[in-house]
Structure 1
């Protein structure tokens, strides 16, 4: 039985009411849903907790938001919120964690197998009614490098083990170094990438990781290696990546995130045969998953326990 009911505002341009209904189903009744700035302004007075996506943060500096104590982002990436100086320092920020590992790791291996096993050739043979029993390569014995060993990176490592791959990792701390065969730190990018068949980026975007993948790093990779970005778009300097891909140095770049989203229709990536473009879909925020995470954090909030996904503004994530 929930005795104290904090005033909760759910903000989402498209799914606010769906999230609110899920939260109410868990016994929290003081929940308002807003899909527009006008609705947010209406419900902000006396609001203590916000679950939000694309929230109009300029409202948080107004007197109507003086009661807000905690802002839970619906997504995992919070670089935009951290950079937003309109959010008062006294508001606690949290992000979704431990929700996306399965989805994103399946996305990664979907493309690795699609390319390695040459699925397009198989389908073309079918269309042409050609019997073409070619021998493809195996992931076993290949070397995958995972940059970022949080919950997403750790799940990619786990699945790589199932394919009997060699696994290297890079992270800003060595807390998860035991997960990989070789661990590297951020001052060892050149050493980290030089032996990889596949480089997977799951890092958060911070000042230290902005454009961390540049021409020098790309050219330090093995010819015909593959780059996969499921982290943040600005981890890669797209201006450097384009000529590297045009030169054929890398076999493929699999990109789910970009510096500007949606990717402009006239962007060269759309037409490059060795670049695979997807629409920031590898790690979906499902209504049920986000709501369960938020409700668990609400219970911790009510009992004054440390919140999951707590954001360190100085660290950047």
Structure 2
């Protein structure tokens, strides 16, 4: 049986990715697919397009007559705060984000750093460089308390791995739907109470009006002096000026930052050179062609069968 066809536009500045996505979609029998990497190409293929799969799409095109046929915009990523607040995207256009794809990658990222810190990997590496037989007793994650802000699919996977290390696990979320996953659950009006007993605070929240700068000087100073902060959510969840000031005062053992208010993090920024800050280039949760294609094709089937879409964004909530 031939599949119902709809015009699809795949967009990314990366030509290799676009070609791979187009090929993956066509292999599933959806043949009316075009790929674009530039503003001009997107403008050329938008007329009669109904579905967009994109990363860094020139959204100013979406409020022009050439985009009047577009009904659904599928982002290639999990974060959509830029799309939610973009006035160029019509209110009646569906926006979906990738969900249930990043938990494994991000949780492994988190624990690779936590283990390195608790086992004092830098000391071991330094001893090897010096050819020094530095035998010491390292600490353990067992019995430590980790707090996870955001208990969606990513947060839930971090909880699961924390259990394997025999950690105490607390969580904070807006809905409380996943409260049963953690030992203690907190709501957003309980931030100070939430953070005060944590050894590790992991941020996985989406960026919304309610979460912008949710981590500020008051929250940071309420944490234990030797606690660690990990941000794998969005850069603007944390007031970076406050974080720098607090850490320069000697408060907090470490900050592990994969996301920043401005990306790429500018050369010369103080965060690059702070000895107790670990900087990575927004790589903890990669959007792979295989994973995104699989998610999109499953969602495309649902769209064509007029079933509810996975990852549908609620613009009022901001995610």
Pairwise CA distance, 1:3: 2.5
Whole-angstrom CA distance in 2 between matches of 1:83 and 1:187: 24
**Structure 1 residue 252: deviation in Å?**
0.2
Distance verdict in 2 for CA 1:2–1:73, change over 3 Å: farther
Contact 2:207/2:234, CA 8 A, preserved across alignment: yes
Residue 264 of structure 2: aligned partner: 262
Aligned pair partner of 1:247 in 246, 249, 269: 249
Provide the aligned C-alpha RMSD in A.
Answer: 0.7
Q: Equivalents in 1 of 2:171, 2:236: separation in Å?
A: 20
Counterpart contact for 2:226–2:251, Cα < 8 Å: yes
1:2, 1:77 → 2: CA distance? 34
Q: Given the two structures, how large is their TM-score scaled by the length of structure 1?
A: 0.99
TM-score (normalizing by structure 2): 0.98
- Asked whether the 8 Å contact 2:3–2:29 carries over to 1, the reply is no
Structure 1 residue 263: Cα displacement: 0.3
Match of 1:158 in 2: 160
Structure 2 matches for 1:164-243, cutoff 5 A?
164-243=166-245
Q: Secondary structure at the match of 2:301?
A: helix
Q: Please name the residue that 1:100 is paired with.
A: 102
Deviation at 1:20, TM superposition (A): 1.0
SS at match of 1:33: strand
Secondary structure at 2:247 match in 1: helix
Query: Quick one: structure 1 residues 249 and 38, their matched pair in 2 at CA, closer, same or farther if it must change by over 3 Å?
Result: same
**Structure 1 residue 77, shift from structure 2 partner:** 0.3
Q: Which runs of 5+ in 1 are unaligned?
A: none
Indicate which of 281, 288, 291 corresponds to 2:290.
Answer: 288
Compute the displacement of 1:126 (Å): 1.4
How far does residue 2 in structure 1 lie from its aligned partner after superposition?
4.1
298 and 2 in structure 1: CA distance in 2 versus 1, 3 angstrom threshold = farther
Q: Deviations over 1:51-99 (max 9, x none)?
A: 0111011111111111000000000000000110000011100000000
CA contact under 8 A between 2:81 and 2:208: conserved in structure 1?
yes
Gaps of 5+ in 2: none
Report the CA distance between 1:199 and its aligned residue. 0.1
Query: Is contact 2:169–2:182 with CA below 8 Å preserved after alignment?
Result: yes
Q: Secondary structure at the match of 1:71?
A: strand
Q: Hey, what's the Cα distance between the residues in 2 that align with 1:54 and 1:131?
A: 50
How big is the shift at 1:196?
0.1
Corresponding residue for 2:6?
6
Instruction: Tell me if structure 2 keeps the 8 A contact 1:2–1:28.
Output: no
User: Does the Cα contact within 8 Å between 1:199 and 1:228 map onto a contact in 2?
Assistant: yes
Q: Distance in 2 between matches of 1:131 and 1:115?
A: 20
Q: How many correspondences in the alignment?
A: 317
